[in-house]
């Protein structure tokens, strides 16, 4: 199963902020530096394959029931106890505007560090770890608006598959979420 994908299962208790800082630096450097080797964790949501910077990934675990939060946007599935830390879990499918994931034990939560926050992404499955050169990352072409487009920073091709790279900061910028939600509200 995907929850033993072996990515940094041994997260230290308390999450060293320095490590998180490094993870951030990693994503920031992506665009600026060329010719650098980078790694992504790729996963599936519906038919799409996405990648996030491996340095941001803290651990991966199978779906368990979470505690619902009242009056939160639909894609906020609730909160999870991650060894004493309360971690919010976001439904990525729902975030892309495709409705709630019908989560089962086969679904996967990718725990990521965004700035000083720890969050979980509910996805269908984790597929791979992709090692690529920053030069290989292609620009996102201007296409018809897709639900996920505004979060995509680049595209890479892996064995004829297209993997869309996500910028987690954008995806989970809470203020942005709040703004979006209030816009939707009226």
Partner 1 sequence: MLPAAHDDPFAQFKVTFFEECSELLADMEQHLGDLEAGSYENETLHAIFRAVHSIKAGAGAFSFARLVNFSHKFEYLLDELRTGKLTVEAELIETLFRGFDVLSDLIGFAQNGEVPDDAYGQGALDQISFYLNKEDASEAGEKGQTASSAGDAPDDSGAAAEPTAEAPAAAKQSLEHFRIEFTPREAMYRHANEPLLIIRELKDLGRTETTIDISRLPALNAMEPEDAYFSWVFDLWTEYGRDEIDEVFEFVVDDCDLTIVTLDHDDEVVDVEVSPGRPVGENEGFGLYVSPEDLVAGQVSASQAAEALKRQMASKIVPPETANNKQEQVEAAGTGPSAAPKASSIRVDVDRVDRLVNMVGELVITQSMLAQEVENSDIPKTDRVFTGMDELSTHIRDLQEDVMSIRMQPVKSVFSRMPRIVRDVSKKLGKKVRLVTVGEATEVDKTVIEELADPLTHMIRNSLDHGLESPEERLAAGKADEGTIRLSAEHRGGRIVIEIVDDGRGINREKVLKLAREKGVVAPDTTLSDSEVDNLIFAPGFSTADEVTDLSGRGVGMDVVLRNIQSLGGRVSVQSQPGAGTRFQLTLPLTLAVLDGMIVGVAGQKFVVPISSILETVRPPAADVQRMVDGSCLVRIRGEYVPVVPVARVFNFKGGEQDPSEGLVVLAETDGGRVVGLLVDELAGQQQVVIKSLESNYKSVRGIASATILGNGSVCLILDVDALAKMPVLMPAGKSGSKTQKAIAAQVAAE
Q: Is 80 in the site for partner 1 (CB under 8 A)?
A: yes
Contact at 8 Å (CB) between 116 and 21? Answer: no
- From candidates 39, 72, 98, 134, binder to partner 1 by CB under 8 A: 72
- From candidates 4, 9, 34, 67, binder to partner 1 by CB under 8 A: 67
Nearer to partner 1, 80 or 165 (CB): 80
CA gap 173, 126 in Å, rounded: 23
Q: How far is the CB of 101 from partner 1 (least distance, A)?
A: 18
- From candidates 31, 86, 100, 138, binder to partner 1 by CB under 8 A: 86
- From candidates 18, 70, 139, 142, binder to partner 1 by CB under 8 A: 70
Q: Which residues bind partner 1 (CB under 8 A)?
A: 13-14, 65-73, 76, 78-81, 83-88, 116-119, 174, 178, 181-182, 184-186
């Amino acid at each position: 199963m995907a929850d033993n994908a072996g990515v940094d299962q041994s997260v230290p208790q308390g999450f060293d902020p320095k490590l998180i800082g490094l993870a951030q630096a990693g994503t920031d450097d992506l665009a600026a530096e060329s010719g650098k080797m980078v790694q992504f964790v790729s996963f599936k949501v519906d038919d799409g394959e996405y990648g996030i910077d491996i340095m941001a990934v803290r651990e991966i675990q199978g779906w368990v029931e979470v505690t619902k939060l009242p009056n939160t946007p639909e894609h906020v599935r609730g909160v999870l106890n991650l060894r004493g830390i309360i971690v919010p879990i976001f439904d990525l499918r729902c975030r892309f505007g495709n409705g709630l994931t019908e989560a089962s034990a086969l679904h996967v939560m990718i725990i990521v560090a965004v700035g000083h926050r720890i969050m979980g992404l509910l996805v269908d499955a984790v597929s791979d770890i992709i090692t690529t050169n920053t030069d290989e990352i292609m620009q996102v072409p201007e296409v018809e608006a897709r639900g996920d487009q505004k979060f995509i920073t680049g595209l890479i091709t892996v064995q004829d598959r297209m993997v869309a790279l996500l910028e987690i900061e954008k995806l989970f910028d809470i203020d942005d979420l709040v703004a979006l939600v209030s816009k939707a509200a009226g």
